[in-house]
Amino acid sequence: MFLFRLLNFYLGLMLMFSFFCFSVSGVIFNMYEKVMLLEWEIFSFLGVNIIMTLLLDWVSLTFTGLVMFISSLVLIYSFYYMSGDKYIVRFTLLVYLFVLSMILMIISPNMISILLGWDGLGLVSYCLVIYYQSFKSNNSGMLTILSNRVGDVAILLSIAWMLDFGSWNFFYFQHFYLGNYGFVLMMVVLAAMTKSAQIPFSAWLPAAMAAPTPVSALVHSSTLVTAGVYLLIRFNYLLGNSSFLLYMGSLTMFMSGLGANFEGDLKKIIALSTLSQLGVMMFVLSLGFYELAFFHLMTHALFKSLLFLCAGSFIHGCGDIQDVRFFGGIYSLMPVSSMFFIGCSISLCGFPFMSGFYSKDLILEVFMMMGGGVALTLIIVLGTLFTVTYSMRLIIHMFFKNMGVLKMITNSESYGMVVPMGILFMFSVIMGSYFSWLLFPSYSVFLPYGFKCFFLLMIFIMSALIYLKKVSFVSLSSGSVSYFYSNFFGSMWFMPLVSTYMIMGGLRLGEYLVKNLDQSWVEYLGGQGTFMLLSSNSSILDFNSFSGMKMYFLGFFFTILVSLFFI
């Protein structure tokens, strides 16, 4: 175990060093507007060349560096978090395999290699969700992988359609075949919606919280769920402005933000917060501002992964309790983790000069300048303000309530867990300004006076509701909202029920077909029947071949008699 710890730290430091190299390369490529395509001929046979293509530009290099940075800190954190786990080696290997799949998807301009990384992400995430091997983990894993398989089928269909163009390098073709790429774009949008858990595929992301908390910090906040957004960023020239994606992203942001105010599980609240920010990325991507979507993707990955790590520290030190109503006054027992948690929460809300402020505020200002409809503007504004309500609700329940029975079971903070959290907190504070200065373009924003007054009024109303605790999303025991509406909003508009019951018919049909076709008369007339027929007939040949010297001499004698007769 000591050697494994040394290996784990060594690989973590290697990933950290790679992060600095890729980040510096991304800044240089952005300054000089360089794009590098590397072609590696794997093998050639009879004039057919199998070539692996890699795309290196400022987007792929920066995102690869960010994935390596978060992965290195999460791996060091997870070694202490899961130190008593029996299968820690298997867990670490799965995480490394996940990082390799993610990097393969990021640097690939080819749909075939993207499919390899895409499927690798889905399969490894399924293995990580069912890591604890319980009934709940199995159900969550099945919902996760079956929802993601819809996107995998869409990628396969786009690959089959691109065969008509003569190649699978979409990086070239989306500039030349703009009018003939409609079906490919539809399939790519469907795949991105499943992987990024947009409506109606949103149920799998909160269900995937059955995985260990370090997995949630890496997989379900910064890498896997943003793979769909990253794929659409690569197809930005073909996507343009999309009204469909605008409404889906806005509804996802509103639904998840509202549902987080009714949730009581700590990890599911953070998962719904991730879903809300994915909706923000989708709707700004649908407006054509792919740089702003990538900006928010980068800043969100930093502070959201740290939020999950802080939640894991609380859960680890409090006897595996995840209900926020039992975490009252935890700041006196875990002050460092509490400071990190509050800092990331206010960064998520867009507090000035935190990393979330630079991307989120710019996204809202650009949207307001474009002049959307009243209903759409209200949905986006409410979805944004819901971020403040559920963040303040979390802070009230966890830090400003009386301490409960957790004082008797709470352990102290682990040094090995606090150090990577501290490094991630420092970067989550400063990287927003770093990205805005070096990588992303600046905008001149001019908003009308009415918009400013409208936002100020909405902020005052939400603040008054939070202070007075008159609505159920502040107090879980409030009776101001009926049970039906509370259940409806708290269960993501019944999407988990719809998602599970929709696939049950297909699973039962598959079971029926396997038992009555594959394992019955099809098997008898097919593989097993043919095998038994050949086995019974070949036994006659075996008998004649291995019957001994008697049959050999008898044949030799008859051969001589026939020869003498004809002579």
pTM > 0.75: yes or no: yes
- How far is the C-alpha of 289 from the C-alpha of 270, rounded, in Å? 26
**Torsion from C-alpha of 76, 81, 87, 90, nearest 10 degrees:** -30
- Show the low-confidence residues of the chain (pLDDT under 50): 470-481
Q: Taking the CA atoms of 221, 303, 212 and 251 in sequence, report the sign of the dihedral they define.
A: negative
- How far is the C-alpha of 277 from the C-alpha of 303, rounded, in Å? 12
Q: What is the pLDDT of residue 183?
A: 82
CA geometry: angle at 416 spanning 410 and 422, to 5°?
95
Please, which residues bridge with residue 463 across strands? none
Q: Which amino acid is at 267?
A: K
Judge whether 249 and 272 are in contact, CB under 8 Å: no
Based on its alpha-carbon atoms, the radius of gyration of the chain, rounded to whole angstroms, reads 29
Judge whether 241 and 287 are in contact, CB under 8 Å: yes
DSSP 402: -
Q: Left if phi > 0, otherwise alpha if psi is -120 to 50, otherwise beta: which for 350?
A: left
Continuous segment of H or E residues that includes residue 43 = strand 36-45
For the stretch 313-367, pLDDT in tens is 888 777 777 888 777 777 777 888 888 998 888 888 888 888 888 888 888 888 8
- Residue 217: phi and psi, rounded to 5, are -65, -35
Structure tokens of 382?
A: 């409410």
Q: Which residues contact 411 (CB under 8 A, 6 or more apart)?
A: 316, 317
Q: Which amino acid is at 315?
A: I
Please, which residues bridge with residue 52 across strands? 40
Judge whether 129 and 141 are in contact, CB under 8 Å: yes
Please, which residues bridge with residue 53 across strands? 39
Q: What is the pLDDT of residue 472?
A: 42
Structure tokens of 346?
A: 């206010």
- How far is the C-alpha of 239 from the C-alpha of 245, rounded, in Å? 10
Residue with tokens 């890498």: 223
Counting every residue, how long is the chain?
567
Q: Which amino acid is at 340?
A: F
- How far is the C-alpha of 79 from the C-alpha of 477, rounded, in Å? 38
Q: What is the pLDDT of residue 162?
A: 81
Q: What is the pLDDT of residue 1?
A: 59
Judge whether 304 and 224 are in contact, CB under 8 Å: no
CB atoms within 10 A of CB 519: 12
DSSP 401: S
DSSP assignment of 284-351, as one string?
Answer: HHHTT-HHHHHHHHHHHHHHHHHHHHHHHHHHHHTTS--BGGG-TTGGGT-HHHHHHHHHHHHHHTT-
- How far is the C-alpha of 259 from the C-alpha of 496, rounded, in Å? 12
Q: What is the pLDDT of residue 478?
A: 44
Can you state the angle between helices 58-81 and 415-438, rounded to 10 degrees?
Answer: 170
Burial of 458 (0-12, 13-18, 19+ CB in 10 A): middle
Peptide bond connecting 200 to the previous residue in cis, omega within 30 degrees of 0:
yes
- How far is the C-alpha of 345 from the C-alpha of 358, rounded, in Å? 15
Residue with tokens 């006897």: 319
CB atoms within 10 A of CB 244: 11
- How far is the C-alpha of 527 from the C-alpha of 523, rounded, in Å? 6
- Cα of first residue to Cα of last residue in the chain, in angstroms, is 86
- How far is the C-alpha of 517 from the C-alpha of 409, rounded, in Å? 56
DSSP assignment of 166-193, as one string?
Answer: T--BHHHHHHH-STT-HHHHHHHHHHHH
- How far is the C-alpha of 229 from the C-alpha of 35, rounded, in Å? 21
- Residue 49: phi and psi, rounded to 5, are -105, 130
SS (H, E, C) 211-260: CCHHHHHHHHHHHCCCHHHHHHHHCHHHHCCCHHHHHHHHHHHHHHHHHH
Structure tokens of 141?
A: 């894993």
Q: What is the pLDDT of residue 17?
A: 84
Continuous segment of H or E residues that includes residue 531 = helix 527-545
